[in-house]
Amino acid sequence: AHALIDRDRNIAEPTSTANRNDLIEKRANAFASEFLIPAAGVYETLERMQKGSPAQASTWIWDAAADEAVHHEIRPDLVAHRISAHDVALLAHEYQVSYDVAAIRLKDIDAIRKNRLELLLSQKEQGMQLLRALKLLNQDTEEGNGEEEQPYLVRQLILLGIEALRRNKISTGRFREICNLADIPYEDLMPVVIAGMEE
């Protein structure tokens, strides 16, 4: 986006504190956000993660015995659908953007509120810790690894374990066993889980 916007200038200028309020810079950043992290893609990712769903779902079921339709409401577990620091980190990894950009984009598309954004931004280190533990982040540069060392199945096992512990479906002892099975230190992942449990 910046290359297109800056093509008429003599020199390409990245965003800085000096030019961040320039209209042309704001437009370039807005375009980059829409292009790099499209709203439809983010919603699809959240749906795949089963995050950010409505507080309640309503359905009608046909009762053959009573020969009538019966209204049924489902109130899902709010903790299960709450977007946490590890969800933001995985979103950032999927779209190859920074944690901050991913969190702000969630606010831009109204997937989270401002107070949730502030909490998620304060939990950035816990989200990055997950990416480091799953070896999705280069330790030296804090950038995504081009070659993923962990098999997909092991990553999914850890992510399911984190969600199960957040929802109180498994004990911390069972989560420790999952970490041992995945050969990832339990101590590296507990800050991620604790951050996900905070309101």
Q: How big is the chain by its Cα radius of gyration, in Å?
A: 21
| Beta-bridge partner residues of 70 | 61
pLDDT digits (tens, 9 = 90+) for 14-73: 556 666 677 776 777 677 778 888 999 999 988 888 787 655 667 888 888 888 888 877
* Average pLDDT rounded to a whole number, residues 186-193: 86
The larger pLDDT score, comparing residue 151 to residue 92, is at 92
Q: How much is the average pLDDT of 97-125?
A: 92
Predicted confidence at residue 11, as pLDDT, reads 54
How far, in Å, CA of 189 to CA of 151, rounded? 17
Tokens found for residue 69? 């339709």
Give the H or E element holding residue 68: strand 68-74
Six token digits for residue 95: 């779209």
Q: In the chain, what percentage of residues exceed pLDDT 90?
A: 23
State the pLDDT at residue 170.
92
Nearest by Cα to 76 from 56, 47, 49: 56
Rounded distance between C-alpha atoms, residue 33 and residue 52, angstroms: 20
**Using CA atoms, how far apart are residues 94 and 32, in angstroms rounded to an integer?**
16
Q: In this predicted structure, what is the pLDDT of residue 133?
A: 87
Residues 6+ apart with CB under 8 A from 80: 50, 163, 166, 167
Confidence of residue 76 (pLDDT cuts 50, 70, 90): low
| The pLDDT value given to residue 106 | 93
The DSSP call for residue 7 is G
Q: 82: pLDDT confidence band, cut at 50, 70 and 90?
A: confident
Chain centroid, CA 85 distance in Å: 6
Distance of CA 195 to the CA centre of its chain: 13
The whole-number pLDDT of residue 154 equals: 84
For residue 119, the model assigns a pLDDT of: 94
What six digits make up the tokens of 98? 């920074």
Higher pLDDT, 154 or 76: 154
Residue 136: its pLDDT value, please? Answer: 83
Specify the higher pLDDT residue, 195 or 85.
85
Q: Is residue 124 predicted with pLDDT exceeding 90?
A: yes
Q: Does pLDDT of 5 surpass 60?
A: no
pLDDT tens for 135-180 read 887 655 455 554 545 577 888 888 899 988 888 899 999 999 999 9
Q: Return d(Cα 88, Cα 95) in angstroms, integer.
A: 11
Distance of CA 54 to the CA centre of its chain: 17
- The span from the CA of 68 to the CA of 84, in Å, is 41
pLDDT for the residue 12: 53
